[in-house]
Structure 1
């Protein structure tokens, strides 16, 4: 089990966490914890005028699988839209739970975690970073929402 799950590729991804830390002035912050193992990701974002991720920082305290997923996410997230992030999350869940191929496009690197599908207890830790990112983006969209009414 250990050799299959913690491959050299997974361990390399886990060791490289792009955009580690926190933003000083985030527009949105997401915080997700995997209840079973305690893996946690806190993500800060800012969005550009088109609603795409412009600024990103992540504070991830997770197992190697959660760290690896966060590493892939951090490499690809700048410029991503909410729709791309949701599609990646949905494809990741399908890969883990029902034999899907996994995300494509900018988040295709998450396919490196395909072997986690055989270990349901590890699914939640693998998802904390992307779920926290979606939460942060949703919050930031509220900051960017057009204001209505008289000024």
Structure 2
């Protein structure tokens, strides 16, 4: 990876997002919790949720990831409240398609992932970027299975 590739990949926007992750911490009484880990880089995201009629009412996350994973957690954290599993799965699928297949930026409310587009070329970063979605979906599943 060249220096110019790194500069492009870790833009000021991505670094600003990584420094401002919302909903950090842990919920006192979550309905569901889950942890997702990228075996390639070791990044982890842990999520706790409470649900109200199938939608996220409260959300907390613990993020130990690269700047791209942190930026992804920030983008998702800014939009996650009020969303249901189906909407989150659609966003995750669209983000995966954007990264892996040069698809379009995910549709609303996930259009903030536009800043992640330079990571398309770095397949080894894709799993870390998807971790916030994976952990959130698994936490919803845990809540609905309880």
Q: TM-score range by the shorter chain?
A: over 0.9
Once the 2 structures are TM-superposed, how far is the Cα of residue 142 of structure 1 from its aligned partner? Answer: 2.2
Matching residue of 1:118: 121
Once the 2 structures are TM-superposed, how far is the Cα of residue 83 of structure 1 from its aligned partner? Answer: 0.8
Matching residue of 2:23: 19
Q: Give the alignment's Cα RMSD to 1 decimal.
A: 0.8
Tell me the TM-score normalised to structure 2 length: 0.95
Following superposition of structure 1 onto structure 2, how do residues 71-90 of structure 1 map, counting pairs within 5 Å?
71-90=74-93
Q: What 5-or-longer segments of structure 1 have no aligned partner?
A: 144-151
Task: Tell me how far apart the structure 2 counterparts of residues 115 and 133 of structure 1 sit (CA, whole Å).
Answer: 24
Matching residue of 1:47: 51
Task: Tell me how far apart the structure 1 counterparts of residues 61 and 105 of structure 2 sit (CA, whole Å).
Answer: 22
Deviations 1:29-88 (A, max 9, x none): 11011111111000000000x200001000000000000000001100000011110000
Tell me the TM-score normalised to structure 1 length: 0.92
Matching residue of 2:72: 69
Once the 2 structures are TM-superposed, how far is the Cα of residue 102 of structure 1 from its aligned partner? Answer: 2.4
What secondary structure sits across from 1:96 in the alignment?
A: helix
What secondary structure sits across from 1:106 in the alignment?
A: coil
* Corresponding position: 1:9 with 2:13: yes
* Corresponding position: 1:132 with 2:126: no
Task: Tell me how far apart the structure 2 counterparts of residues 141 and 86 of structure 1 sit (CA, whole Å).
Answer: 15
Task: Tell me how far apart the structure 2 counterparts of residues 24 and 136 of structure 1 sit (CA, whole Å).
Answer: 15
What secondary structure sits across from 2:78 in the alignment?
A: helix
Q: Which has the larger radius of gyration?
A: 1
